[in-house]
Chains A and B, each alone.
Chain A
Amino acid sequence: MSVITHSPYHQRLIRKLDAISVLGAEDRDVLATLPLNIRSIPENSDIVSRGDRPSSCCLILEGFTCRYNILASGQRQIFSFHVPGDIPDLQSLHIEVMDHSLGALTPCRVAFIPHVAIDELLHTRPRIARAFWRETLIDAAIFREWLASVGRRTAYQSVAHLICEIYVQLLAVGLADGLNFELPITQEELGDALGLSAVHINRVLQELKVARVIASNRRQIVIIDWERLKAAGDFDPGYLHLRHDEL
């Protein structure tokens, strides 16, 4: 029986890894001993920047973050959104120089985990090593879906798909309340992710609301008709490779 108390911060990570991989009680206890350097990050600031050589990985505890690059034209391309429980720069463990930036879209609380501590776990706990590897493979699967959205889906489909994806990710780590969840991402940021203008994003959101697929009040989204939202977004959660059927 476990005798180690899992702090709420460690619990974020454990819950995330539990959602995608099989861990034993001992693995969870070992994860709960990871050293965490907790920091608050103001909104719209970088947590890690392109060109940095980090010596720790960043576990998101609270808030929304994104990975992005600024192109020569000054335009921003957002590659992914991240929710609490994610370690968006896990790759920095093996790829020394950041080839993109990780930014806080909202005020965030994050925990920096030293690379040496993660490396130690990878060498001593095979199931944790497998969970981290699986996490990065799922990260790649999400990129493939985004490529399809940016390249081939219509604005309506890609916005609906993204809403589905974020909802399921939040649900998997216990951060959605039934069909309600917080989406503190601006229309401009959604546009930078999907290669669309904020005007197009606004239009699609209005269409989804008029069709009574979703409702929204400021940052709160309510899914009125999950089946229609999934159909609108051409969304199949299989690529998220969650262990439990979340829906």
Chain B
Amino acid sequence: MKVTVQPIKVSVGETGDGRLDVADGGLVAVLVQLGANNGVDAGGWFVETGYGAMSGETHPVFSSLATAKDWFTAHLTQ
């Protein structure tokens, strides 16, 4: 399972900084970096939406993209 992330702008009123999370060539999630307004999770990466095995899941807010990639890799290879 190879998980990669690609930059994308997301219109959700946060920093606008987002990532497409791709596993084995298929889109599994859109990540958005939270803005300063977001209190304890400011700067963290939030799973805006998930697809396939990642849809409807409860995800943590990740402190870094590396953590997010590790989590997705572990989750998708379960």
Binding site for B on A (CB under 8 A): 73, 75, 197, 199, 202-203, 206-207
A199 — which chain B residues lie within 8 A by C-beta?
Answer: 34, 38, 41, 46, 61
For chain A, what secondary structure do more than half of its interface residues adopt (helix, strand, loop), or is it mixed? helix
With contact pairs A197-B46, A207-B13 given, residues A202 and B37 touching in the complex (Cβ less than 8 Å)? yes
A192 to chain B, nearest CB (A): 11
Closest-CB distance, A221 to chain B (whole angstroms): 17
Given contacts A197-B46, A199-B46, A73 and B12 within 8 Å (CB-CB): no
Contact A206 B37 (CB under 8 A): yes
Q: Whose C-beta in chain A lies nearest to the C-beta of B14?
A: A203
Inter-subunit contact B13/A203 (CB<8 Å): yes
Chain B interfacial residues counted at CB < 8 A: 11
- Known A-B contacts A75-B58, A197-B46; the reply to A202 vs B13 at CB < 8 A is no
B39 at the interface (CB under 8 A from A): yes
How near does chain B come to A74, taking the closest CB pair, in angstroms? 8
Per-residue CB proximity of B36-49 to A under 8 Å, as 1/0?
01110100001000
Closest B residue to A74 using CB positions: B58
Q: Is the CB of B39 within 8 A of A202?
A: yes
Do B58 and A202 touch across chains, with their CB atoms under 8 A apart?
Answer: no
Closest chain B residue to A199, Cβ basis: B46
Cα separation A197 to B14 with both chains bound (whole Å): 15
Give the Cβ gap from B42 to chain A, nearest Cβ, in Å: 10
- Evaluate contact between B58 and A73: CB separation under 8 angstroms: yes
Instruction: Please encode chain B, from 13 to 45, with 1 for each CB lying within 8 Å of some chain A CB and 0 for all others.
Output: 110000000000000000000100111010000
Q: In the complex, A75 Cα to B58 Cα: how many Å?
A: 8
Bound-state CA distance A206–B15 (Å) is 14
Interface centre among A75, A203, A207 (most CB of B within 10 A): A203
Closest B residue by C-beta to A209: B37
Verify A203–B12 contact, CB threshold 8 A: yes
CB contacts (< 8 Å) of B46 on chain A: these are 197, 199
Q: In the assembly, what is the distance between CA of A175 and CA of B45, in Å?
A: 39
Q: Report B26-78 residues with CB < 8 Å from chain A CB.
A: 34, 37-39, 41, 46, 58, 61
